[in-house]
Amino acid sequence: MGSTQSPPVTLHSINPKVLKCEYAVRGEIVSHAQILYCNIGNPQSLAQQPITFFREVLALCDHPSILDKSETHALFSADAIARAWQILDSIPGRATGAYSHSQGIKGLRDAIAAGIAARDGFAASADDIFLTDGASPAVHMMMQLLIRSEKDGFLCPIPQYPLYSASIALHGGSLVPYYLDEATGWGLEISEVKKQLEDARSKGIAVRAIVVINPGNPTGQVLAEENQREIVEFCKKEGLVLLADEVYQENIYVENKKFNSFKKIARSMGYGEKDISLASFQSVSKGYHGECGKRGGYMEVTGFGADVREQIYKVASVNLCSNISGQILASLVMNTPKVGDESYESFIAEKNGIMSSLARRAKALEDAFNSLEGVTCNKAEGAMYLFPRLHLPQKAIEAAKAVNAVPDAFYAHRLLDATGIVVVPGSGFGQVPGTWHFRCTILPQEDKIPAIISRLRAFHESFMEEFHD
Amino acid sequence: MSPKPLDYESLNENVKKVAYAVRGELYLRASELQKEGKKIIFTNVGNPHALGQKPLTFPRQVVALCQAPFLLDDPNVGLLFPADAIARAKHYLSMTSGGLGAYSDSRGLPGIRKEVAAFIERRDGYPSDPELIFLTDGASKGVMQILNTIIRNEKDGILVPVPQYPLYSATISLYGGSLVPYYLEEEANWGLDFHNIRQSVAAARSKGITVRAMVIINPGNPTGQCLSEANIRELLKFCFQENLVLLADEVYQQNIYQDERPFISARKILFDMGPPISKEVQIVSFHTVSKGYWGECGQRGGYFEMTNLPPQTVDEIYKVASVSLSPNVPGQIFLGLMVNPPKPGDISYLKFVVESKAVLESLRRRAHIMTDGFNSCRNVVCNFTEGAMYSFPQICLPPKAIEDAKKAGKAPDVFYCLKLLEATGISTVPGSGFGQKEGVFHLRTTILPAEEEMPAIMASFKKFNDEFMEQYEDYRGYSRM
């Protein structure tokens, strides 16, 4: 070696923020796993079928030269062909292999804006939309924009989807936790948020934004309208950016709750561009479409000046654009077949089939968890997860300590070894200290759920037997 | 009331420092003019399909079938798709657990990473480990990930060629590092000047900068030069002596328009050099589906390969990749197809070869047309585009033009390029977007406009340029012709 220094890229010499960043969803426990993945929201890896109409349109856009052929009509529905033509006509030169505008293809953003307006009853603009490779890169962009130093803080729900903690660490900011209340179905109390905000400020943290995940991940609660209005009011008063993670907006399983976008709530309160800075995130990965592998999504950013939007555009432009197929899919998700379209009946049947199955699985697993000794589980009102609480006996906690493991990780490892079921320990999401949870998806195929429940029950009973006080 | 968080004043300063001219002022102005109805020829970005290059047929057939796997069961599918495309679609679908709609491994589908490793082995003659190959949403994301891993603070310096593709300068600004420039020698065909490189490093170190990495772009962007084997050897020795990781941007490896210097990967040369250097020098090599003769920019498919990085570093890079869950699966399949194209005997082989050759041969011809065209213009001197997709002519601006530019509040090359745009509709990127020596001006254009349109484009450029020069100078110009 030319010098006695260690090579440039070793553990000791890489960016320490990279070392600090953690992401439990694909963390330690997964390296064992072979069998039943209940750890990530990846529906199609567990045999959920894609929506036919969407895939027809995407296939035609990938290979537009068959649109002119007569045989195509035998293989594809007429409205899929029509939609593909419409989409291709909005792409310069019909070139789906070209980099697009860095915010995404204008025609597709128009379609998404129309979809947002139809959903909310309030206008949306294509200029406010940034199409991204999934919702996650959009979150990163906002973090990049807002984090100047570790003195910049972000209010995050605890428990939270660890993209937020990871991305705050990666960009060198501070996470300011606000605890959701398990006793009230994971309720968000403004008084708690206010307390945490003031606490952080007293420590010299400039709190810049609040992350709200609605429906919640891992917690599954759907916010009540009144709650959402409180949050909007709070952001306006405290000058916080509202980062609204709304990727599960189509996953609601209870009759008494509805999804309301934060944009809709703010506008219905009479608040406009001057009143509240809002970034809303949506994705093609969840809902009933579950197209995780496509990496499609967008953020809608409202309530900030043109000079700031220029900066967001600039950062987006360094990566040129998001993948075109994902952009097309995002426009389809926000603009589905309508009554009277050829594909409408089959589309609705597929969608309803998936949604009702998800609701049944959510209930079955919730009931199963609640039937176990020492386990309490809040209802999954929405999203794709259950987050049961483990009231672990002291002996189990000590056994975990003895092997240098966090108690919920210890439980999850044992569960994996005994049953092949992979879950994510609650410590990966954050929880009130001294409480233990794990996150389990509701995604395994419906006919496998009874077997999962019985295996889980058998394991749990023997675990509690082994460690009872 | 205190400034709101999303007020311009309170944004991350690093974001404000970022400049990315490829989609900057000229492009925005061109887009405005296009909206007003003016015909614009966009030569600002290496975006072949936007200028009429057609996608290769076979990959589109395969990916379309993967998107809609129910087609595979349809008895009529053979009417529209050849048997080998059908077979290949089944091959890739079998690699996934749930088709295109499931997140893959955060590093990419193992089956495709194996195909990439096999490609690298065939290309270089040395085995490649799929575990050290990570697929990404385009090569740019990979570059950003690696730079983020290296840069700790503003004292970490990255050696970057000038002129460079401004992804590097933008990313270094974004992550708060320091760019340490090394100037390519225009008079020596944009060659490397090791004396200059050593000087740069010494100057940086004297300012307290720790130089950590060296970027090479081979073939070069915007400059197009292809590095010789001797060059790369010297570079590797330099990295060895100075303890630098080599970041080898090799995205244009298929775009070679001369025969004297074929593409050789940095990794191959490193291994040719044998131990100890071959076991010590750290390299990260980047490739993509966006360039070559594929030009599938919109798919966002790419990969990086790590050489001599310790396992814990690889783990950390994996960890960060996992926060983004996975690269897009269709893009991964495009990559697999690129490294594993149809073979002799396959039904689609002939068509594939004909399509590919047509693109490459045309690019080679266009490289010549453009270089010669620029060299026939007054006060314009242009090195030959040996590789990549760009032409980077030097525009010798007369003093009066530079004055007028100053009066207009524009950098001289920006001023020239704006006037070119207004007069001809040709949208280029001023050389200042890539970096250049003080007082020397360039513009970057691509060689991608359709071959049949090139003569008219070059004529239009010449007319504008020669009139501009006549307007601004004392009738004493020079050109290479």
Of the pLDDT bands very low, low, confident and very high (cuts 50, 70, 90), residue A33 is very low
- B149 inside domain: yes
Residue B124: pLDDT above 70? yes
Same structural domain, B276 and B157: yes
Chain A residues touching B15 at Cβ < 8 A: 144-145, 311, 314-315
Average pLDDT over residues A82-89: 97
Q: Measured between CA atoms, how close is B370 to chain A, in angstroms?
A: 22
pLDDT at A1: 41
Chain B residues touching A63 at Cβ < 8 A: 60-61, 63-64
- B292 inside domain: yes
Residue A337: pLDDT above 70? yes
Residue B8: pLDDT above 90? no
**Does A31 contact B at CB distance below 8 Å?**
no
Kindly state the percentage of chain A with pLDDT values over 90: 88
Chain B residues touching A133 at Cβ < 8 A: 137, 300, 324, 328
φ/ψ of A73, rounded to 5, equals -70, -20
**Cβ contacts of B266 within 8 Å, gap of 6 or more:** B216, B218, B232, B235, B236, B246, B248, B250, B283, B285
Same structural domain, A224 and A299: yes
pLDDT at B66: 98
Q: Number of helices and strands (H, E) in chain A?
A: 16, 14
Of the pLDDT bands very low, low, confident and very high (cuts 50, 70, 90), residue B5 is low
Q: Which member of A2, A318, A324 has the closest CB to residue B242?
A: A2
pLDDT at B288: 98
**Does B189 contact A at CB distance below 8 Å?**
no
- The amino acid that residue A383 corresponds to is A
What total of structural domains would you count in chain B?
2
Chain B residues touching A3 at Cβ < 8 A: 241-243
pLDDT tens, B337-380?
A: 999 999 999 999 999 999 999 999 999 999 999 999 999 999 99
Domain range enclosing A257: 92-333
Per DSSP, the three-state class of A411 is helix
Residue B65: pLDDT above 90? yes
- B190 inside domain: yes
Average pLDDT over residues B169-188: 95
Q: How far is the C-alpha of B296 from the C-alpha of A96, rounded, in Å?
A: 8
Residue A432: pLDDT above 70? yes
> Chain A neighbours among B 311-370 (CB < 8 Å)?
312-313, 316-317, 319-320, 322-331
B156-165, B371-380, B472-481, range with the lowest pLDDT: B472-481
> Do A75 and B74 lie within an 8 Å CB cutoff?
yes
Chain A residues touching B132 at Cβ < 8 A: none
Of the pLDDT bands very low, low, confident and very high (cuts 50, 70, 90), residue B11 is confident
Q: How far is the C-alpha of A432 from the C-alpha of A180, rounded, in Å?
A: 9
The mean pLDDT of chain A is 94
CATH number at residue A126: 3.40.640.10
**Does A35 contact B at CB distance below 8 Å?**
no
- B53 inside domain: no
pLDDT tens, A378-408?
A: 999 999 999 999 999 999 999 999 999 999 9
Of the pLDDT bands very low, low, confident and very high (cuts 50, 70, 90), residue A16 is confident
Same structural domain, A183 and A295: yes
Of the pLDDT bands very low, low, confident and very high (cuts 50, 70, 90), residue B476 is low
Measured in residues, chain B has a length of: 481
Same structural domain, A131 and A226: yes
CATH number at residue B363: 3.90.1150.10
Residue B480: pLDDT above 50? no
> Do B150 and A9 lie within an 8 Å CB cutoff?
yes
pLDDT at B320: 87
Same structural domain, A104 and A243: yes
Same structural domain, B301 and B357: no
Average pLDDT over residues B245-272: 97
Tokens of B330: 């269709």
Of the pLDDT bands very low, low, confident and very high (cuts 50, 70, 90), residue A2 is very low
> Chain A neighbours among B 432-461 (CB < 8 Å)?
none
The mean pLDDT of chain B is 95
Domain range enclosing B176: 95-339
pLDDT at B317: 93
Chain B residues touching A144 at Cβ < 8 A: 12, 14-15, 174
Residue A10: pLDDT above 80? no
Mutation target for B interface from A4, A5, A9: give the one with most B CBs within 10 A: A9
A6-15, A133-142, B412-421, B453-462, range with the lowest pLDDT: A6-15
Q: Which of A300, A333, A366 is the last residue of a domain?
A: A333
Of the pLDDT bands very low, low, confident and very high (cuts 50, 70, 90), residue A323 is very high
Same structural domain, B335 and B201: yes
Q: How far is the C-alpha of B261 from the C-alpha of B191, rounded, in Å?
A: 13
Same structural domain, B318 and B377: no
Same structural domain, B147 and B32: no
Average pLDDT over residues A420-446: 95
Of the pLDDT bands very low, low, confident and very high (cuts 50, 70, 90), residue A5 is low
- B85 inside domain: no
Same structural domain, A328 and A361: no
What total of structural domains would you count in chain A?
2
CB A15 within 8 A of CB A309: no
Q: Which of A299, A333, A367 is the last residue of a domain?
A: A333
**Does A40 contact B at CB distance below 8 Å?**
yes
Same structural domain, B107 and B220: yes
Residue A435: pLDDT above 60? yes
Kindly state the percentage of chain A with pLDDT values over 70: 97
> Do B245 and A9 lie within an 8 Å CB cutoff?
yes
Same structural domain, A270 and A162: yes
Q: Which of A333, A357, A389 is the last residue of a domain?
A: A333
Q: Could you give the angle at the alpha carbon of B299 between the alpha carbons of B295 and B303, nearest 5°?
A: 85
Chain A residues touching B12 at Cβ < 8 A: 144-148
Q: Which of B339, B371, B392 is the last residue of a domain?
A: B339
Q: Which of B304, B339, B374 is the last residue of a domain?
A: B339
Mutation target for B interface from A15, A94, A174: give the one with most B CBs within 10 A: A15
Same structural domain, A313 and A197: yes
Of the pLDDT bands very low, low, confident and very high (cuts 50, 70, 90), residue B2 is low
CATH number at residue A23: 3.90.1150.10
φ/ψ of B191, rounded to 5, equals -80, 165
CATH number at residue B223: 3.40.640.10
**Does A404 contact B at CB distance below 8 Å?**
no
pLDDT at B3: 56
Same structural domain, B307 and B401: no
Of the pLDDT bands very low, low, confident and very high (cuts 50, 70, 90), residue B166 is very high
Same structural domain, A408 and A433: yes
CB B343 within 8 A of CB B120: no
- B344 inside domain: no
Q: Measured between CA atoms, how close is B312 to chain A, in angstroms?
A: 6
Chain B residue with Cα closest to A63: B60
A419-433, B256-270, B306-320, B463-477, range with the lowest pLDDT: B463-477
Q: B162 has which bridge partners?
A: B183
pLDDT at B242: 96
pLDDT at B230: 95
Instruction: Estimate to the nearest angstrom the gap between the alpha carbon of B187 and the chain centroid.
Output: 23
**Does A168 contact B at CB distance below 8 Å?**
no
Q: B380 has which bridge partners?
A: B395
**Does B57 contact A at CB distance below 8 Å?**
yes
Same structural domain, A447 and A302: no
Q: Measured between CA atoms, how close is A368 to chain B, in angstroms?
A: 27
Same structural domain, A351 and A312: no
**Cβ contacts of A47 within 8 Å, gap of 6 or more:** A445, B98
Q: Which member of A14, A136, A277 has the closest CB to residue B316?
A: A14
Q: Which of B312, B339, B366 is the last residue of a domain?
A: B339
Same structural domain, A327 and A447: no
Mutation target for A interface from B67, B241, B289, B293: give the one with most A CBs within 10 A: B67
Same structural domain, B140 and B273: yes
Q: Measured between CA atoms, how close is B354 to chain A, in angstroms?
A: 18
Q: Measured between CA atoms, how close is A320 to chain B, in angstroms?
A: 8
Q: How far is the C-alpha of B157 from the C-alpha of B176, rounded, in Å?
A: 10
Using a 10 angstrom Cβ sphere, with 0-12 exposed, 13-18 middle and 19 or more buried, the burial of residue A268 is: middle
Same structural domain, A390 and A460: yes
Q: How far is the C-alpha of A52 from the C-alpha of A67, rounded, in Å?
A: 17
- B345 inside domain: no
pLDDT at A257: 95
Same structural domain, B208 and B258: yes
What is the value of ipTM here, to two decimals?
Answer: 0.93
Q: Measured between CA atoms, how close is B323 to chain A, in angstroms?
A: 6
Of the pLDDT bands very low, low, confident and very high (cuts 50, 70, 90), residue A13 is confident
**Does B145 contact A at CB distance below 8 Å?**
no
pLDDT at A20: 76
> Chain A neighbours among B 9-48 (CB < 8 Å)?
10-16, 18-20, 22-24, 45, 47-48
- The amino acid that residue A393 corresponds to is P
Residue B406: pLDDT above 50? yes
- A63 inside domain: no
Same structural domain, B379 and B322: no
pLDDT at A80: 97
- B114 inside domain: yes
Same structural domain, B121 and B191: yes
SS3 for chain B is CCCCCCCHHHCCHHHHHCCCHHHCHHHHHHHHHHHCCCCCEECCCCCHHHHCCCCCHHHHHHHHHHHCHHHHHCCCHHHHCCHHHHHHHHHHHHHCCCHHHCCCCCCCCHHHHHHHHHHHHHHHCCCCCHHHEEEECCHHHHHHHHHHHHCCCCCEEEEEEECCCCHHHHHHHHCCCEEEEEECEHHHCCECCHHHHHHHHHHHHHCCCEEEEEEEECCCCCCCCCCCHHHHHHHHHHHHHHCCEEEEECCCCCCECCCCCCCCCHHHHHHHCCCCHHHHCCEEEEEECCCCCCCCHHHCCEEEEEECCCHHHHHHHHHHHHHCCCCCHHHHHHHHHHHCCCCCCCCCHHHHHHHHHHHHHHHHHHHHHHHHHHHCCCCEECCCCCECCEECCEECCCHHHHHHHHHCCCCHHHHHHHHHHHHHCEECEEHHHCCCCCCCCEEEEECCCCHHHHHHHHHHHHHHHHHHHHHHCCCCCCCCC
- A338 inside domain: no
> Do B323 and A13 lie within an 8 Å CB cutoff?
no
pLDDT at B9: 85
Residue B267: pLDDT above 80? yes
Same structural domain, B157 and B301: yes
Of the pLDDT bands very low, low, confident and very high (cuts 50, 70, 90), residue B4 is low
pLDDT at A3: 47
